[in-house]
Structure 1
Amino acid sequence: MKDIMGMMKAANEMKDKMEAMQAELAELVVEGRSGGGMVTVSLSGKGDMKGLKIDPSLFKDDDVEVLEDLIIAAHNDAKSRSEEEMQKKMAEVTSGLPIPPGMKFPF
């Protein structure tokens, strides 16, 4: 019975940590860059686009496809960084728990 109480306490602590982490991720902003920094995309920790910066030298009629590709690349870079941050924070919250390797959070 003592172990069950300990597990319940640990579960409540983890729930509190998860809620705090989700609030922290909502405030997190990561940047992705492409084209040597000529295009920068900012995303929230939840993947919402918060900003887009484009170097003015890219605004040429014949470079539209290049600009589109750079925006996509910068967005993908920012999303990847956001996911890495989320995984780091989840690892902090779940450290010490017997979670199978490769299991991703949130479910």
Structure 2
Amino acid sequence: MNPGGGMDMQALLQQAQQMQQQLMAAQQELEESKVEGTSGGGLVTVTVSGRGQVEDIRIDPKAIDADDPAETAQTVADLVLAAIRDAERAVDELQQQKMGPLAQGLGGGGMPGLPGF
């Protein structure tokens, strides 16, 4: 506030610019981050970017039963889906960790249009 009782626009602009820089830095950190989700006791591992993009899926050969290919295919599909969901949960936690404080700085109302907020 300035002495005249009005808002100090310069201070508001500086604060907005600082928040924008913090937001950009947090978004960059998310881009560079990787999280993993697993299922089946580690039989399937999914690597996901901090923005939620699946980047790698690894399936342990022990997940394959050569004697029952149809059942194995369904089991592997279920394990992959479970690992992706586990990774998505980890991405949500990472996004809250990186972006949550910025949302609170904006009044705690969340950040419409950003995944996970």
User: What TM-score, normalized by structure 1, do the two folds share?
Assistant: 0.86
> Which structure has the larger Rg?
2
1:55 and 2:60 aligned: yes
**80, 83, 88: which is aligned to 2:97?**
88
Identity %: 34
State the alpha-carbon separation in 1 of the partners of residues 80 and 73 from structure 2.
11
1:72 and 2:60 aligned: no
1:29 and 2:34 aligned: yes
Q: AA paired with 1:54?
A: I
Q: AA paired with 2:44?
A: V
Q: Which runs of 4+ in 1 moved over 4 A?
A: none
SS of structure 1 residue aligned to 2:37: strand
Structure 2, unpaired ranges of 5+: 1-5
Cα RMSD of the aligned pairs, angstroms, is 1.8
State the alpha-carbon separation in 2 of the partners of residues 26 and 12 from structure 1.
21
CA apart distance, 1:41: 0.2
Task: Tell me the alpha carbon deviations over residues 53-88 of structure 1, each in whole angstroms, 9 at most, x when there is no partner.
Answer: 111011221321111000001001101111110111
Structure 1, unpaired ranges of 5+: none
Q: AA paired with 1:68?
A: A
1:8-23 aligned within 5 A: 8-23=13-28
Q: Assess if the C-alpha contact under 8 Å between 1:39 and 1:71 holds in 2.
A: yes
State the alpha-carbon separation in 1 of the partners of residues 102 and 7 from structure 2.
23
Q: Assess if the C-alpha contact under 8 Å between 2:48 and 2:87 holds in 1.
A: yes
User: What TM-score, normalized by structure 2, do the two folds share?
Assistant: 0.79
